[in-house]
Amino acid sequence: MARQPVVAGRAEQLLGSAVVATAPVAGGDIATAVKLRLSNGRTAFLKTLTAAPPHFFEREAAGLRWLAEATPDGGVATPEVLAVDHDVLILGWVESARPGAEAAGAFGRALAATHRSGADGFGAADDGYIGRLPLLNRALPTWAEFWAERRIAPYLKVLRDKHIVTAEDAATIEAAVAKGAEIVPEEPPARLHGDLWNGNVLWAGDDRVVVIDPAVYGGHREVDLAMLALFGLPQLPQVMAAYDEAAPLADGWEDRLGFHQLFPLLVHACLFGGQYAARAARVASRYA
């Protein structure tokens, strides 16, 4: 590892510990990521973004801390927040390992415990971000209302305004979402990670899984499960089986995964193009 003076100096300002070496970390498509070796023997992970949106890293840090509140009660692990400022976030380093069946089972049980720790309502006190897009979190009385007005409508509007989604596909998605109260059984709000796709699940040593990059809010627990299933999490059957054993899901949950995948598909359409909008419409046609 070499030492990048600018990055190292910024980290030293926030940590109060000398940075011995730095190394770039691949994988992020928004922020610049760097591995830090500190003089106190610790290893840390730093990410920074020039001209970051307002409270971008502060919201992420707050989300990690909110999830970590459930960890002592068996909830899923998160990296330690070492420092945060408007332009940078520094976390404890998580050493990666191969996905295994025992870790998958432990993750399923831990995720169930995190969800069970609950939230004050459907939404959150502050708006956040999903990737680099704004995430509206103002609470609404029911999950069906929140899902339609905070998770679907804003991104469908962006897609319409940019002519990324066809009128027919948008109408199909809206028709499905309008049936949310009929499709999704009522449950108390769960403590959600909110962006729990494969890339935000780190398989660590000692059969642990650590989650990163949250977009937290109180919502229906099937949302996190749907996100895990969307892009192919390793050991997914073991995770789902352990979760369902620890916190049994309502009948038909597998059939509802697609309904709760509409939001991430629309987010991907906003970020990466119209093929995801068409895919969302195909999924929505099963529920419309």
Active site residues: 195
SS3 170: helix
Residue 118: count other Cβ atoms within 10 Å of its Cβ: 14
Q: How far is 222 from 213, CA to CA, in rounded Å?
A: 19
Q: How far is 60 from 54, CA to CA, in rounded Å?
A: 12
What phi and psi values does residue 257 have, to the nearest 5 degrees?
-60, -40
For residue 140, what are its two tokens? 């609404």
Nearest Cα residue to 135 out of 186, 194, 190:
194
Max intra-chain CA distance, the chain: 59
CA dihedral 255, 262, 143, 158 (to 10 degrees): -170
Residues 92, 38: contact at Cβ < 8 Å?
no
The DSSP H or E segment spanning 128 is: strand 128-130
Q: How does strand 32-38 pair with strand 43-48?
A: antiparallel
